[in-house]
């Protein structure tokens, strides 16, 4: 199984959301460059298998899963989006606290590549299809460079001018 990290993660109340993978973004992995193409996760998502959300790729630290409905995954034009309900466990509380402080390293995913799911051109790999096994909240350094994690608390009612300013800051 291979593992890759993603771009962002947000805490919203007792939920974490973000992207476990971004499309068409080159990443340096060991001695090669890798790009994930749109649609790479489509078959895994259609198959409705049980995909886990883990803390740091540790199968003993389950945060959520698709089978129970506590993990929701979807592909959009940007990448593989996720939304998970954080459990009231030691690991869940720890991950949520780290995300709220901005101390999480990123999100990641574990996968295998089916036959014909990849192509190589020299030291460049293109992933067109993957078998998604799990996504992870990564507390340290993710595999994909440039990944960030941001914590978000529940929005409180703000005056319109401050709400616009907050939305603008959220885009940075």
- pTM, to two decimals: 0.77
d(CA 78, CA 19): 8
CATH number of the domain where residue 145 is located: 3.20.16
What tens digit of pLDDT does each residue of 87-135 get? 999 999 998 888 888 888 888 899 999 999 999 999 999 999 999 999 9
What tens digit of pLDDT does each residue of 42-96 get? 999 999 899 999 999 999 999 999 999 999 999 999 999 999 999 999 999 998 8
Beta strands across the sheet bearing 32-36 = 27-29, 32-36, 124-127, 118-121
| H-type alpha helices, 24-114 | 42-46, 90-101
Q: Residue 164 sits in which domain range?
A: 2-170
Domain count, the chain: 1
Q: Which residues contact 61 (CB under 8 A, 6 or more apart)?
A: 54, 55, 91
The answer for 33, left when phi > 0, alpha when psi is -120 to 50, beta otherwise, is beta
């Amino acid at each position: 199984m291979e593992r890759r990290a993603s771009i962002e993660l947000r805490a919203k109340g007792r939920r974490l959301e973000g992207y476990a993978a971004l499309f068409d973004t080159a990443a340096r992995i060991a001695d090669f460059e890798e790009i994930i193409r749109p649609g790479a996760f489509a078959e895994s998502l259609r198959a409705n298998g049980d995909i886990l959300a883990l803390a740091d790729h540790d199968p003993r630290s389950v945060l959520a899963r698709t089978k129970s409905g506590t993990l929701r995954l979807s592909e959009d034009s940007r990448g593989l989006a996720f939304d998970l309900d954080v459990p009231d466990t030691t690991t869940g509380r720890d991950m949520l606290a780290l995300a709220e402080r901005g101390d999480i390293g990123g999100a990641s995913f574990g996968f295998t590549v089916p036959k014909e799911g990849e192509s190589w051109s020299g030291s460049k790999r293109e992933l067109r299809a993957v078998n998604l096994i799990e996504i992870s909240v990564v507390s340290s350094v993710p595999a994909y460079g440039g990944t960030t994690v941001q914590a978000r608390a529940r929005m409180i009612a703000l005056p319109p001018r401050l709400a616009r300013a907050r939305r603008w800051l959220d885009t940075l």
